[in-house]
């Protein structure tokens, strides 16, 4: 008999529970779980000093100890952000004092330390938080793992770079590193195993996980990594001409100077209200193209060395995966079936998009070519891509799937498969690839972004639709329903990987997920049932690689 079966009623009477971490005492609580046993919840735990004043844009400082008992029953402030998929640029909530994490554990005194899963939220490095209104533990904690969620600085406050010692860039990623270091030091106090930590995330969070796999600052902080719809080999997570972008931002805010020190002083003294909800498009082509705002985000940069300060990321992404990836880290990486639906969100005028697709072949030029090839080459590249996807048809709602397939590849799918191919060439590294195709009432991205009318001709699995199978929404799901069966299936795969390094260690799920190899390119189709397959999206991948081989061969894995 599990001792917790009779201890839990006692905790319900106690309600509060205290844990001693390095910085002081935390008081959390026991929380009911309608999908399983109650769990211990500790929210709003500071993992670094607030990045205020001169710490704005800098790497976070370790948290100073506090006196007495700190209340850990409520979430702390989110980082300043705006809602990515609406036209509302007002922050929902936010503060510069926002470096907090949350720990949810099924048992603070287990017989054996529990596997730990650290979730890094997405949102285009623009929006989101680790709060349980979006990322609650109820599904995952049923599987005997500890869940940690966290906040990190976003957009300008988190990712502005002047390429100077004052604003080197990647502050938001260094926040994540500080959180991982805190977890490594303290998770044993919550019943966790500091030597069995899996980091996982989706979209910008998935890309973050992928960057951590190659960052010199994160070696030894985790054992496994799950990248959902985001990789270091993608193009969106890399800032194009970051210093120029920062200078343009200052100009947009009314400050004109080429003196980098003066520009830094300007930014450090700006009210925080001026440092979110800003979109900076550097080229005329980018300004004219009908595209969502996340295509021009503030994101990661390759850092310059300043004295003895740690650099989070530097070099070329493909080279780092080939030669700089952490040895022995096991990986799951994948994407959803209809990732490209996200392109039609975030302020895009769909009719204008159709018009541009029909008039200008440049709409079909993938991002690296727009930055690294001359216009004459771009015109030919765009012609080839439009012909491949649209043939001789006119872009419209009638053939929307053809345009969607292009955006699937440009935004996520091609870079995910490229990452797998690079990892597969490394001796001794094991990785798994998936394509997520589940369809149920849990798939809510299209309706949440007002696109359900546009994509009403078939069920879709859009970007972020996998989240509903990992984290609960406000709607209660019948545990006997088909939707909950898929929840149980995905959470079992993810937690098996966290526990054993193998998502299907036995035959209980009815399929064996084989590691990806260069020979067969194995992957798992995660739908209502699990279907092992080979060579994902082969025709499209082969075509993309052929064009890259001709013009930018460095992007061919």
Residues 183 and 213 in one domain: yes
pLDDT in tens, the chain (557 residues): 344 444 444 445 458 999 999 999 999 999 999 999 999 999 999 999 999 999 999 999 999 999 999 999 999 999 988 766 655 555 556 899 999 999 999 999 999 999 999 999 999 999 999 999 999 999 999 999 999 999 999 999 999 999 999 999 999 999 999 999 999 999 999 999 999 999 999 999 999 999 999 999 999 999 999 999 999 999 999 999 999 999 999 999 999 999 999 999 999 999 998 998 888 888 767 777 888 777 778 999 999 999 999 999 999 999 999 999 999 999 999 999 999 999 998 778 999 999 999 999 999 999 999 999 999 999 999 999 999 999 989 999 999 999 999 999 999 999 999 999 999 998 777 899 999 999 999 999 998 888 988 999 999 999 999 999 999 988 899 999 999 999 999 999 999 999 999 999 999 999 999 999 999 999 999 999 999 999 999 999 999 999 999 999 999 99
For residues 227 and 253, the answer to whether their CB atoms sit within 8 Å is no
Residues 321, 287 within the same domain: yes
* Number of domain units in the chain: 2
Q: Let me know: does 183 contact 116? Beta carbons within 8 Å.
A: yes
Q: How far is CA 116 from the centre of its chain?
A: 18
Where among 326, 361, 382 does a domain terminate?
A: 326
Same domain membership, residue 245 and residue 175 = yes
DSSP 381-421: HHHHHHHHHHTTPPPSGGGHHHHHHHHHIIIIIHHHHHHHH
154/37 same-domain check: yes
Predicted local confidence at residue 3, as pLDDT: 44
Q: What is the per-residue pLDDT for 278?
A: 85
Same domain, 318 and 340: no
Q: What is the pLDDT of residue 276?
A: 85
**Nearest to residue 487, comparing CAs of 500, 473, 474?**
473
pTM (two decimals)? 0.95
- Please tell me whether residues 85 and 32 are part of one structural domain: yes
What pLDDT score does 474 carry?
84
Report the distance separating Cα 289 and Cα 231, nearest Å: 24
* Same-domain check for residues 298 and 445: no
Same domain, 189 and 279: yes
pLDDT at 488: 98
Spatial separation of the C-alpha atoms in residues 178 and 197, rounded to whole Å:
15
Q: What integer pLDDT is reported at residue 6 of this predicted model?
A: 42
CATH number reported for the structural domain that contains residue 467 in this entry = 3.40.50.1820
The 10 Å Cβ neighbour count of residue 515 is 16
Q: Are residues 216 and 165 in the same domain?
A: yes
Last residue of a domain, one of 326, 343, 375: 326
Residues 289 and 360 in one domain: no
Q: Are residues 349 and 262 in the same domain?
A: no
Contact 364, 409 (CB under 8 A): no
Structural domain harbouring 513 = 335-555
pLDDT at residue 13, rounded to an integer: 47
Phi and psi angles of residue 14, each rounded to the nearest 5 degrees, phi first: -75, -40
Q: What was the pLDDT predicted at 297?
A: 85
Same domain, 369 and 310: no
């Amino acid at each position: 008999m599990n001792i917790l079966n009779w201890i839990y009623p006692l905790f319900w009477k106690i309600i509060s529970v205290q844990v001693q971490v390095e910085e002081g005492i935390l008081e959390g609580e026991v929380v009911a779980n309608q999908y399983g046993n109650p769990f211990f919840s500790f929210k709003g735990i500071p993992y670094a000093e607030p990045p205020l004043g001169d710490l704005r844009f800098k790497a976070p400082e370790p948290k100073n100890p506090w006196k007495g008992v700190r209340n850990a029953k409520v979430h702390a402030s989110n980082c300043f952000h705006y809602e990515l998929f609406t036209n509302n640029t007002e922050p929902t909530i936010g503060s510069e004092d926002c470096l907090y994490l949350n720990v949810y554990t099924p048992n603070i005194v287990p017989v054996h330390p529990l596997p730990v899963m650290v979730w890094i939220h997405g949102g285009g490095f623009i929006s989101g938080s680790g709060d349980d209104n979006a990322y609650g533990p109820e599904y995952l904690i049923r599987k005997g793992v500890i869940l940690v969620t966290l906040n990190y600085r976003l957009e300008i406050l988190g990712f502005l770079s002047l390429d100077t010692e004052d604003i080197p860039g990647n502050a938001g990623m260094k926040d994540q590193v500080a959180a991982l270091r805190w977890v490594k030091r303290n998770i044993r106090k919550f019943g966790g195993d500091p030597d069995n930590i899996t980091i996982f995330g989706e979209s910008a969070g998935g890309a973050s996980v992928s960057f951590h796999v190659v960052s010199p600052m994160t070696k030894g902080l985790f054992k496994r990594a799950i990248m959902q719809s985001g990789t270091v080999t993608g193009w969106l997570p890399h800032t194009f001409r970051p210093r120029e972008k920062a200078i343009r931002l200052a100009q947009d805010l009314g400050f004109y100077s080429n003196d980098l020190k003066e520009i830094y002083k300007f930014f450090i003294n700006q009210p925080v209200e001026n440092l979110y909800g800003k979109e900076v498009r550097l080229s005329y082509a980018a300004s004219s193209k009908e595209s969502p705002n996340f295509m021009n985000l503030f994101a990661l940069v390759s850092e310059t060395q300043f004295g003895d300060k740690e650099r989070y990321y530097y070099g070329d992404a493909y080279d780092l995966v080939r030669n700089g990836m952490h040895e022995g880290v096991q990986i799951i990486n994948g994407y959803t079936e209809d990732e490209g639906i996200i392109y039609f969100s975030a302020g895009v005028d769909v009719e204008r998009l159709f018009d541009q697709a029909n008039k200008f072949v440049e709409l079909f030029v993938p991002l690296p070519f727009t930055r690294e090839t001359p216009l004459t080459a771009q015109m030919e590249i765009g012609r080839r891509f439009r012909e491949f996807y649209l043939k001789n048809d006119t872009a419209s709602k009638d053939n929307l799937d053809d345009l969607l397939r292009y955006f699937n590849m440009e935004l996520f799918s091609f870079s995910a498969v490229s990452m797998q191919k690079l990892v597969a060439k490394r001796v001794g590294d094991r990785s798994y690839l998936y394509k997520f195709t589940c369809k149920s009432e849990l798939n809510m991205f299209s309706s949440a972004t007002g696109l359900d009318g546009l994509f009403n001709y078939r069920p879709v699995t859009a970007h972020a639709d996998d989240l509903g199978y990992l984290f609960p929404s406000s709607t209660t799901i019948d545990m006997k329903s088909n939707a909950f069966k898929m929840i149980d299936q995905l959470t079992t795969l993810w937690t098996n990987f966290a526990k054993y390094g193998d998502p299907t260690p036995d035959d209980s799920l009815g399929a064996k997920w084989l590691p990806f190899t260069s020979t067969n390119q194995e992957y798992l189709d995660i739908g209502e049932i699990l279907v092992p397959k080979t060579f994902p999206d082969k025709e499209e991948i082969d075509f993309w690689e052929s064009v890259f081989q001709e013009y930018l061969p460095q992007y061919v894995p």
